[in-house]
Structure 1
Amino acid sequence: MVLTVAPGYGGPQRLLVVSADMGGGHEATAAALEQAATAVWPGVEIERLDTLDVMGPGVGRLFRRIYVGNVEHTPWLYEFFYAQLWRHAWFARASKRFTGSWSGRRLVERIDRFDPDLVVSTYPLASSGLAWLHAHRGLDRPTAAYVSDIAPHPFWIHGALGLNYVVHAAALPHARACDPDAVVDVCALPVQRDFHPGPRRAARQSLGLAADALVAVVSCGAYAFGDVVRTVRTLLDASERVQVVAACGRNEDTRARLQALGLPERRLRAIGWTDQMPALVRAADLVLSNAGGAIALEAIASGRPLVMFRPIAAHGEANADLLVVSGLAELCADEDQLTAYVHSVLRDPGALREVAERAHQVASRGTTEESLRQVATSTPRTGGGRRWRVRPSDAFFLHADRPLRVQEVGAVLELDPVAGGRLTLADAQRTVGPRVHGLPILRRRLVDDGRLGWDLSGTADLATHVTAAEAEHGMDAALDDYWSEPLPPDGFPWAVRLLQAPTEGRTVFAVKTHHILGDGISLLGLLDRLLDPAPDDPLDERRPAPGTGASVSGRSGIRNGVRQGRLVVAGLASLATSSLGSWTHLDCEQTARRLIATAPVEEARVRAVAAATGCRAHEVVIAVVAHALADLLGSAGLVDGSRPLRAMVPVARRAPRLDRVFGNWTAAVTVDLPVGAMGFRQRLERVTAQLRARAARGEPQAAHVVMQLLGHLPAPARTVTARTIYTRRFFSTIVSYMPAARGDRWFAGAQVRSICPVVPLAEGVPVTAGAVVSSGVVGLALVLDAALVARDVDRPAATEAVLRAVRAAEDEVLR
């Protein structure tokens, strides 16, 4: 298959939408923004966060309970708080600073994990958090707040954000009064495109509503605030010609009370949460609300008259006032006014057309896509020259650097020939260039001015970071040379090189980054964004696993916390106990030169061995590595079988996927690889037993906790600690196994045949191993210190040892 490479789309590649499940309006606005982003930037990856869930277990439930309780039972208290935000600027600033510090600190890890290049908020506490991150943590991504009500309040508007959007020009003075430093603009109504003007008759037919009735849709939000039953009775009592559809959201009690009225559907239809709101709004003659949130914007977008009846306290009354002033709604303060309004509409239906025309004028003003483009090209407003901090687990690998042991991870991609010629440097730069602008990880420049931080204000020079070379002395030697030279010294810790060996018929795309940018899983996620998938590939690997990041609250959260705590304690004990054992230290000189031995193997061969032994594929691969190292190092006299090789095996703390592109998130377990004389099956049994036992004892969780604790040490202490524990004192090799994309991938039109990882060496550790599964191939690779050549361990011997180990597995298990 030949893939035509499309040019980069020149927009954001990763959009983070920060919202909250507080009613339905914030989530509705978030859904509208996601829909618009997908339309304007095809292929954009989107993640939505619930701010309240991020703020901590149980926070969402607590805040929702407080909100509902205030609106329903103590509206005076809710109104008092709302009024104080407007009356006292110091109170508004203090409240925003408190909530911003809380939510902002909790958002840091989620922003690092997803590494977005654009962030939008649809919830006030999310906006506070993002503003705090701009001012106090150097958040360097374009951000915007979309106000999902027509009337903004001080919690909505923030001067530290790049843009603050309101939905009507009448709201601009209010927004600027909230924060005079804020950049405020008017955007199109942020509603999903299903809300649009359309034939009323067709909508009624599809829903089974009366064609000749005055249809009133009553929607009081997700919680159905207020006396909905009283509202419905007033409408029904106004005329026999009225048919009411009451959308009760999640309030099943209100729905049951309405159904208990025993009225036929031609007069009353009470429904719960529904996805038919676009059709219901189009079918309506009137849309009634008491809050004025999402349903108000949806009615306006659909060109339907809006009535605000008995608005709820605080933001409900503010929305009603501004909607009326803007000519977009009628206000009925009591039952008599509502009855009179219904009578007037029945007498003069033409009045509704005037309201619908005003709504249409507002709805047809611009598009949500235009505002998103504006946000994407805006300049982030970072405060005080602050830079986004380097996470402790990332900085660890910078502290672990030694002159002869630089922590650089990478991958060797073997490419198929391209039709009609060969790839060129221009092809590589044309492919990588647009993606550099869309991936913040490739724009990160490391700055150390007393505190490690990331600067995203510049862009790496493609001529320096995207290079090509002829493999004059063979491809293997060219790879050795590439991994033996340092990364460019300009602070951008990544580089790629296109290598050509015409006499061998080989083309390789080599990628390397400093470990500070991310672990192997993050590298594979980044790599997948540099490659092109098949047009029909659903890219499932780029989506988070179901339930990833989900909040657990209440008793379940407590039980989960207790279980995790026990695992950590058990894991710490296991780590401490295992460190007392003895293992083989590989004694040899250290050099800066690396030898890269690659050995791609068909995945089916590994899966067959796994199926026959009841093991998992990664367990088979690690046993293959143990078998190969026993053969390779044993023949050189570096191991004698009396003591094992202590291997550090990185382990993902969740189902490994390609949804993240930045950061070190994996933990590790230690496994004593048996390197004595034995058959493959016996070696596999020992490796498998250790892997499962150590994972069950909580070693990955404990290793993660240790890494976090190290981050709280002073910088000099972190360096000393990293250079103490990331050495032969604690392990003698590293063995990594990672899944990449299952579907085929192309680079600059050339299909990727295999991906072999390059795992960096550590102090006193002269050999590492890694495997990547992609497109039906397991790419195995050993990284050797060139000093091992003096001990008769070289690249060809390493490659052959791996292939012999695979054959040994098949011979013993399958035959």
Structure 2
Amino acid sequence: MPERDELLPGPPPSAGPQGTGRHRVVVISASVGAGHDGAADGLTSRLAAQGFLVDRYDFLDLLPARTGKLLRDAYHRLLTRAPERYQRLYQATEHASRPGAVWRALFRSAEHRTLAALPPDTTAVISTYPGASQVLGALRQRGALKVPAYTFLTDFSVHALWIAPGIDAHLAVHPIPAAQAHAQGAAAVTVVGPVTDARFAPVVGGQRSAARARFGLPEHAPLALLVAGSWGVGAVRQAAAEIQETGVAVPVVVCGRNQSLVEQLRQDGIAHAFGWVDDMPGLMHACDVLVQNAGGLTALEAFASGLPVASYRCIPGHGRANAQALEEAGLAAWIRTVDDLRPVLAELLHGPRGRGQRLAGVALHRAASGPVPAITARAGHRLAPPAPSPTVHHPGRRRLALAATTAVATVSLGVAAPLTYAYAKAPAHFTTVAHYLDGDDR
């Protein structure tokens, strides 16, 4: 298996020198799992590095009384106790033209507190949660919010709730979610690439051995990092047992805040089960492949770390939708049956499929200039041009070069993405691509 420190030499491209002004940007996330907050963390750090003042709010705190906690708890119960009911609900609303009456009433209840929370010198507001986007869009439509409002699409699949009339621009991590957003009427869709902590990077030097020693992991065995979000939901015990039974890799399971799952796994004979892990970059350095069930922030962090990614026993709703989108993008394998688990893991660990995914994942992070220039374009904050990305030549990697061209071409707001990346692997989806390319941005 090739060393992961050979993937792309040099550091990621700089976002450019710091801006000269002190403009204030507000980022609104939601503590529903960790993905929305993780994206907000990445946005906050990048904006702060460019000289912006950044305020953070949790959308659940902007809802009246205890509504936010009730919403989070209800979502958690659906995922853990009635997953197929959640799947039906997700599918029923996936392409709805507008939120239902109950959702609209809930969002209206947050409008006053959202507007009151914004400091007077705010120059832009960014949402990483669909409910917050709905509120901001409604405020913009009525003229109550006077500054630009953006939605940062955290998922590879775009549910209809993400698309809110009134939002000035929708920022996507990849052309596939950009196409989905555009097809649903999103305004000014732009591919800006992911935002993750800078510590997520391909392993170099002796980092791998040191990380394995630090976590008490086998020194030489192939390791499959199995994750299930901050809540530790889904068929985690079954997936861990099945990975172990393949004999191809040793499962290393992260259960988030689900401590009872940690104990159950250890009783099942899974030796390396962890609860909440603060040093996820280090754990990714220790492992050789990521197996995930939701397709959210952890997958993006794995791409940045040079890990090949597989989706397996995905949770309903966004988990399955993200798995399909990641597969279409050529960034992650979707293992649909237990019979496919062993051969696909072997390909990702030892074959050209794994190396191709590692290269594609790192390139995803390095091809685009990030969300700050797109935000700056409307927030009145001028930045110097970003430093150029390091030029890397990989014979026969034409698809990766095309990916870089695609992402760079979409950095300006209002420019539809030329969706050429990875479509050699998904020709059946050219209908969606053509719709995106032929349409006018709104």
**Common fold, TM-score beyond 0.5?**
yes
Q: Are 2:57 and 1:49 aligned?
A: yes
Counterpart of 1:129 in structure 2: which amino acid?
V
Deviation of 1:379 after TM superposition, in Å, equals 6.9
Equivalent residues in 2 for 1:614-629, closer than 5 Å: none
1:78 corresponds to which residue?
86
2:107 corresponds to which residue?
100
Change in 2 beyond 3 A, CA 1:35/1:87? closer
**Given that residues 230 and 255 in structure 2 are in contact (C-alpha distance below 8 angstroms), is that contact kept between their aligned partners in structure 1?**
yes
- Provide the rounded CA distance (Å) in 1 between the counterparts of 2:94 and 2:73: 24
Please identify the structure whose Cα radius of gyration is greater: 1
Equivalent residues in 2 for 1:311-326, closer than 5 Å: 311-326=314-329
Counterpart of 2:317 in structure 1: which amino acid?
A
Equivalent residues in 2 for 1:554-633, closer than 5 Å: none
**Given that residues 198 and 302 in structure 1 are in contact (C-alpha distance below 8 angstroms), is that contact kept between their aligned partners in structure 2?**
yes
**Given that residues 211 and 286 in structure 2 are in contact (C-alpha distance below 8 angstroms), is that contact kept between their aligned partners in structure 1?**
no
Change in 2 beyond 3 A, CA 1:13/1:357? same
Q: Deviations over 1:729-767 (max 9, x none)?
A: xxxxxxxxxxxxxxxxxxxxxxxxxxxxxxxxxxxxxxx
Q: Deviations over 1:368-414 (max 9, x none)?
A: 3xx2232133179xxxxxxxxxxxxxxxxxxxxxxxxxxxxxxxxxx
Counterpart of 1:247 in structure 2: which amino acid?
V
**Given that residues 103 and 125 in structure 1 are in contact (C-alpha distance below 8 angstroms), is that contact kept between their aligned partners in structure 2?**
no
- Provide the rounded CA distance (Å) in 1 between the counterparts of 2:183 and 2:157: 12
1:16 corresponds to which residue?
26
1:216 corresponds to which residue?
224
Q: Deviations over 1:601-654 (max 9, x none)?
A: xxxxxxxxxxxxxxxxxxxxxxxxxxxxxxxxxxxxxxxxxxxxxxxxxxxxxx
Deviation of 1:99 after TM superposition, in Å, equals 3.9
Change in 2 beyond 3 A, CA 1:9/1:226? closer
- Provide the rounded CA distance (Å) in 1 between the counterparts of 2:68 and 2:337: 33
Deviation of 1:222 after TM superposition, in Å, equals 0.7
- Provide the rounded CA distance (Å) in 1 between the counterparts of 2:95 and 2:367: 33
| Equivalent of 1:205 in 210, 217, 239 | 210
Equivalent residues in 2 for 1:462-473, closer than 5 Å: none
1:33 corresponds to which residue?
43
1:277 corresponds to which residue?
280
- Provide the rounded CA distance (Å) in 2 between the counterparts of 1:132 and 1:203: 48
Counterpart of 1:17 in structure 2: which amino acid?
V
Equivalent residues in 2 for 1:497-536, closer than 5 Å: none
Deviation of 1:76 after TM superposition, in Å, equals 2.8
- Provide the rounded CA distance (Å) in 2 between the counterparts of 1:29 and 1:200: 28
**Given that residues 12 and 117 in structure 1 are in contact (C-alpha distance below 8 angstroms), is that contact kept between their aligned partners in structure 2?**
no
Deviation of 1:80 after TM superposition, in Å, equals 2.3
Counterpart of 2:29 in structure 1: which amino acid?
S
**Structure 2: tracts of 5 or more residues without a match:** 1-17, 383-442
Equivalent residues in 2 for 1:411-430, closer than 5 Å: none
- Provide the rounded CA distance (Å) in 2 between the counterparts of 1:172 and 1:310: 26
Change in 2 beyond 3 A, CA 1:219/1:33? same
1:67 corresponds to which residue?
75
Q: Are 2:191 and 1:194 aligned?
A: no
1:662 corresponds to which residue?
none
Equivalent residues in 2 for 1:369-384, closer than 5 Å: 371-378=371-378
Deviation of 1:345 after TM superposition, in Å, equals 4.6
Identity across the alignment (%): 27
- For the residue of structure 2 that corresponds to 1:354, the secondary structure is helix
- For the residue of structure 1 that corresponds to 2:290, the secondary structure is strand
- For the residue of structure 2 that corresponds to 1:270, the secondary structure is strand
- For the residue of structure 2 that corresponds to 1:117, the secondary structure is strand
Change in 2 beyond 3 A, CA 1:150/1:11? farther
**Given that residues 212 and 219 in structure 2 are in contact (C-alpha distance below 8 angstroms), is that contact kept between their aligned partners in structure 1?**
no
Counterpart of 1:327 in structure 2: which amino acid?
G
- For the residue of structure 1 that corresponds to 2:158, the secondary structure is coil
Counterpart of 1:105 in structure 2: which amino acid?
H
Deviation of 1:334 after TM superposition, in Å, equals 2.8
**Structure 1: tracts of 5 or more residues without a match:** 1-7, 381-433, 435-815
Deviation of 1:291 after TM superposition, in Å, equals 0.5
1:118 corresponds to which residue?
124
- Provide the rounded CA distance (Å) in 1 between the counterparts of 2:91 and 2:78: 14
Q: Are 2:310 and 1:307 aligned?
A: yes
Equivalent residues in 2 for 1:634-645, closer than 5 Å: none
1:252 corresponds to which residue?
259
Q: Deviations over 1:197-225 (max 9, x none)?
A: 22385234234133321111111101111
**Given that residues 189 and 301 in structure 1 are in contact (C-alpha distance below 8 angstroms), is that contact kept between their aligned partners in structure 2?**
no
Change in 2 beyond 3 A, CA 1:45/1:85? same
Q: Deviations over 1:521-580 (max 9, x none)?
A: xxxxxxxxxxxxxxxxxxxxxxxxxxxxxxxxxxxxxxxxxxxxxxxxxxxxxxxxxxxx
- Provide the rounded CA distance (Å) in 2 between the counterparts of 1:75 and 1:181: 29
- Provide the rounded CA distance (Å) in 2 between the counterparts of 1:282 and 1:157: 36
Deviation of 1:115 after TM superposition, in Å, equals 4.1
Change in 2 beyond 3 A, CA 1:74/1:181? same
Q: Deviations over 1:571-610 (max 9, x none)?
A: xxxxxxxxxxxxxxxxxxxxxxxxxxxxxxxxxxxxxxxx
2:188 corresponds to which residue?
183
Deviation of 1:72 after TM superposition, in Å, equals 2.0
2:359 corresponds to which residue?
357
Structure number with the higher strand fraction is: 1
- For the residue of structure 2 that corresponds to 1:18, the secondary structure is strand
Task: Report the TM-score when normalising by structure 1.
Answer: 0.42
Task: Report the TM-score when normalising by structure 2.
Answer: 0.76
Change in 2 beyond 3 A, CA 1:96/1:57? closer
Aligned residues: CA RMSD? 2.3
Deviation of 1:343 after TM superposition, in Å, equals 4.0
Change in 2 beyond 3 A, CA 1:324/1:33? same
Q: Deviations over 1:1-38 (max 9, x none)?
A: xxxxxxx9444532211011000001100110111011
Q: Are 2:335 and 1:328 aligned?
A: no
Worse-superposed segment, 133-142 or 319-328: 133-142
Deviation of 1:126 after TM superposition, in Å, equals 0.9
2:419 corresponds to which residue?
none
**Given that residues 281 and 299 in structure 1 are in contact (C-alpha distance below 8 angstroms), is that contact kept between their aligned partners in structure 2?**
yes
Change in 2 beyond 3 A, CA 1:81/1:217? same
| Equivalent of 1:232 in 234, 237, 240 | 240
Counterpart of 2:210 in structure 1: which amino acid?
Q
| Equivalent of 1:261 in 255, 258, 268 | 268
- Provide the rounded CA distance (Å) in 2 between the counterparts of 1:322 and 1:262: 33
1:731 corresponds to which residue?
none
